[in-house]
Structure 1
Amino acid sequence: MKYKKVLLHPPRALLLLFLFVSTIGTFLLKLPQATTTSVSWLDAWFTAISAITVTGLVVVDTGSVFTIFGQLVIMLLIQIGGLGIMSFAVVIFLLIGKKIGVSQRLLITQALNQKGMGGIVKLVRSLLLFSIIIEMIGAIILSARWIPEYGVGSGIYAAIFHSISAYNNAGFSIWSDSLSSYVGDPVINIVITLLFILGGIGFTVLIDLKNKKHFREWTLHTKLMVIGSIIINALAFIVIITLEWNNTSTIGQLNGPGKGWGALFQAVTPRTAGFNTVDIGSMEEASLFFIICLMFIGAGSASTGGGIKLTTFIAMLLSVNTFLKGKYEVTIFHKTLAFSIIIKALAITVISTGVVLLGVFILELTQESPFLVNLFEVVSAFGTVGLSMGLTGSLDGIGKVTIIVIMMVGKLGPLTLAFIFASKKTSKIRYPEEEVLTG
């Protein structure tokens, strides 16, 4: 009897792989060895999804509820989710001497949001090497800071856990107050922020910066990511420190340098990092709304972060600027953005907005929390950020499932899920153009 080989479309295959790995993670976190107290299946699933989507939202305290074994499972899920399930599959294939076929290359291309399959395996190798080196450097520096405070074993473990969590933009911490105890600590602030900035800027950008030393040699994507990141981080710092300067519940009670470190950390962390050094729920409403905007924008493509992505946001801004100037082509740095890129950016933004609105609508119907709290939670889940105003732990079953689905959509990408249900048929028929009234 002959069996027909079934080939799944890459988006569907990615979704199935994601569900498979998260299911294994859920079973591991439900083992008696993984927890210090009984954890429900839903809470175990929520934690596994939060880890593999590198979000960081928690329904139970990571440090007190999960044992070292449970925390190691979470750490492994974070690493898999940050670098990509297919990236780990490639490593396993290479170790056992298995050839990377076309179908696997298509999946990797889809997972890493690359244009083509050329050099994809080399990219994965570089990605893994970069990640290990950066995480090791981060862990070494953090160990030097925490060993005197917690001892050799605990200090090294805390350093490794937070280095992996930070670089992969996960936001998980083994301490219930995240990093609030280190709000004015220069070492912790600098190392953690550098880790999640490097993880959030994107693997392709890091490789491009390594291989090309001059600005004019960089790809357009690298130029937009570097300049865009500098501008948005600087703007966020100015806004946060201005709004929170006199807020005694956040940075108002700190000295000058302390205010600066606290504002800087909270300005950068919404770009999908998820750590916090002040009580997020105590921030000014204007600050919280600004952070929601930052979380929705997110990090860079082919990075460990989520959101609609910074380049998508820039493409939308450039399109608006083109319309206002009466031009017909979107240009930047003497390059023209393809029309397909503009359409893709528009689709990502519209679908993402729809997902967020639907999520908020469901929470408004089922939870007793204020609108701003619900909006913050949903955008944090979609952007795989992990910041919360305190709602996560009090969510009911419907609320938890809603956030789980939104975290999955945020990690896999709205277009990936849209392609799962989209028609694969293309038409070459063209119809006559006609204008409609808009605006």
Structure 2
Amino acid sequence: MSEFLKGKPKLTPVRILALGFAIVIFTGAILLNLPVSSSEGIRTPFIDCIFTSTSAVCVTGLVTLNTSVHWSYFGKTIILVLIEIGGLGFMTIATMFSLILGKRITLKERLIMQEAMNSFSLQGIVKMSRYVLCFTFFVEGMGALLLSTQFIPEYGLLKGLYFSIFHSVSAFCNAGFDLTGNSLVPYSNNAVVIITISLLIVIGGLGFFVWAELYNYKTSKRLSLHSKLVISMTAFLIISGTVLMFLFESNNPGTLAGKGIFEKILSSFFAAVTPRTAGFNSISTSDMSTAGKFLTDIFMFIGGSPGSTAGGIKTSTAGLILMTVISVIKGKEETEVFKKRINKELVYRGFAITVVSLGLVITVTMILSITESAFSFEYILYEAISAFGTVGLTLGLTPKLTVIGKIVLALTMYSGRVGPMTLALALAKNKKKTSIKYPEDKILVG
């Protein structure tokens, strides 16, 4: 606290990351506020510019204005750039320009990169950044190529190509912005579009560290515990989600009833993938059954994996908590995952992140219940979790938000993108060592 009173706050890597995201958001809002950014050539209300810029940088996808209709191609391109910066992280983008210009990467910059990428070690961090950039552009390029086979015949060469690039970047970065005006509902029976977008979402949501290990698996013949847990949790969530969505929505006339079996399976699969912080939808979210909406809430809260373009508490955190509960039920003294013991401090951090995240969602829900009193609790909770998890799915509340509601959700998206990571790093790095140990005692639980 003394450093703030002196007016000279120490810019730690965590603070630099938080400040960097804020600066990018504000810069994006200024650019979106220019008349050239709107399709009508007039200035957009600054609160909507801030909201859109926050949603893009925090790779969320919640919008108060129709992206397809309101923004000009200049504005859409600004949003696209903000999505890429938000997905990769501004430090990775800055590293790219430093490498192009031949500038030396300093130790402080390497430390910030390590924090941003959730890397275990500082060693090889610049090489990892190169890999992230090459991997990202390659995957997005392949995604755009596959999508162009569908969009170019429909929209023409230039518009179809732009649509392909935009949706590929938006999907890989788990952003959920679309240019159709109705997400992917018009393509609910198009296997190429749905599967391509799904693969981009999953690839972007697994995390660069996991893909680096998978790439080197032929030579190393091993996967770290982190990668095993992330892959297992991802597969479990997708498979179980697909089955449950199929059961919940098959007979729902507002979503899947009346559709063929292939489209039902395809839409159920997509409905299980996209809540993992992507924000696209191929069926009407507002018409989903209560069970389907609640399952979506759970998936949005969990999110993707650490070091990825996704948000939420992360699959590894959810997996760690699940395995801790199982270990306690089995009477084991320590958490065990794939025949490995997990340090108790890591378990504590996982529970701390989850509790703080729940606290944030509850607080935001309570505030929105006051500012958006015209809407039901179901709509408000859905919106709060979507903003925290940087998902972008909505039941229709976002475009009708009050000014206060827009500010609250913008702050929630920012917290969801920066908060859990910052909390984990703060708990990991700022340990207070003390030789004092208080006497042990007991309380009743359960």
TM-score by length of 1: 0.96
One-letter code of the match for 2:13? P
1:106-134 Cα distance to aligned partner (Å, 9 max, x none): 11111111222111111111011000000
Higher mean C-alpha deviation, range 98-107 or range 126-135: 98-107
**Aligned with 2:176 (options 164, 167, 171):** 171
Residue 432 of structure 2 is aligned to residue 426 of structure 1: yes
Structure 1 counterpart SS, 2:218: coil
Answer yes or no: is the 8 Å Cα contact 1:11–1:417 preserved in 2.
no
Counterpart Cα distance in 1 of 2:433 and 2:148: 58
Matched, 1:382 2:385: no
Q: Does residue 207 of structure 1 match 2:215?
A: no
Q: Structure 1 residues 318-327 or 201-210, which shifts more?
A: 318-327
Task: Check whether the contact 2:250–2:256 (CA below 8 A) recurs between aligned residues.
Answer: yes
- Counterpart of 2:327 in structure 1 is 322
Unaligned runs of 5+ in 2: 1-6
Say if 1:52 and 1:78, in contact at 8 Å, map to a contact too: yes
1:165-212 CA distance string (max 9 Å, x none): 000000000111011000011101110000010000111011110001
SS in 1 for 2:277: coil
1:138 positional shift: 0.5
Deviation at 1:414, TM superposition (A): 2.6
Q: Which residue of 1 aligns with 2:17?
A: 14
Per-residue CA distance 1:267-306 (angstroms, 9 max, x = gap): 1100011000111000001110110000000000000000
Aligned pairs for 1:79-158 within 5 A = 79-158=84-163
Match of 2:244 in 1: 239
For the Cα contact (< 8 Å) 1:53–1:78, is it kept in 2? yes
Contact in 2 for aligned 1:356/1:382 (Cα 8 Å): yes
Q: Quote how far apart the aligned CAs of 1:429 are.
A: 2.0
Aligned equivalents of 2:219, 2:61: Cα separation in 1? 36
Which secondary structure does the structure 1 equivalent of 2:176 belong to?
coil
The structural deviation recorded for 1:432 is 3.6
1:228 & 1:386 partners in 2: Cα distance?
22
8 Å contact from structure 1 (residues 196, 273) kept in 2: yes
Residues 384, 409 of structure 2: 8 Å contact kept: yes
Matched-pair contact (CA < 8 Å) for 2:34–2:44: no
2:26 paired residue among 23, 28, 45: 23
Matched with 1:397 is 403
Q: 1:435 aligns with which of 437, 441, 444?
A: 441
Q: Structure 1 stretches (4+) deviating beyond 3 angstroms?
A: 4-7, 213-216, 417-425
Residue range with higher mean Cα deviation, 105-114 or 42-51: 105-114
- Report the count of equivalent residues: 436
Between the aligned partners of 1:415 and 1:207, the Cα distance in structure 2 is: 21
Q: Verify: 1:332 aligned to 2:334, yes or no.
A: no
SS at structure 1 position matched to 2:391: coil
Equivalent position to 2:37, from 34, 47, 51:
34
- Matches of 1:215 and 1:311, distance apart in 2: 22
Q: Which amino acid aligns with 2:166?
A: F
1:275 aligns to 2:284 (yes or no): no
Specify the alignment match of 1:196 in structure 2.
201
Once the 2 structures are TM-superposed, how far is the Cα of residue 100 of structure 1 from its aligned partner? 1.3
- C-alpha RMSD over aligned residues: 1.9
Q: Could you tell me which residue of structure 1 aligns to residue 68 of structure 2? A: 63
Taking the aligned partners of 2:76 and 2:403, their CA distance within structure 1 comes to 24
SS in 1 for 2:286: helix
CA deviation vs aligned residue, 1:50-90 (integer Å, no higher than 9, x gap): 00000000000001100000000000000000011111111
In structure 2, the CA distance between the partners of 1:195 and 1:415, relative to structure 1 (3 Å rule), is closer
CA distance in 2, matches of 1:352, 1:216: 36
Check whether the contact 1:34–1:67 (CA below 8 A) recurs between aligned residues: yes
Of the structure 1 ranges 395-404 and 30-39, higher mean CA displacement relative to structure 2 is found in: 30-39
Distance 1:95 1:344 in 2: 38
Q: 1:416 aligns with which of 389, 401, 422?
A: 422
Q: Are the equivalent residues in 1 in contact too, given 2:349–2:427 (CA < 8 A)? A: no
Over residues 12-45 of structure 1, what are the superposed CA-to-partner deviations in whole Å (9 max), with x where a residue is unaligned?
Answer: 1111111111111001101111002441000000
| Runs of at least 5 residues in structure 1 that lack an aligned partner in the other structure | none
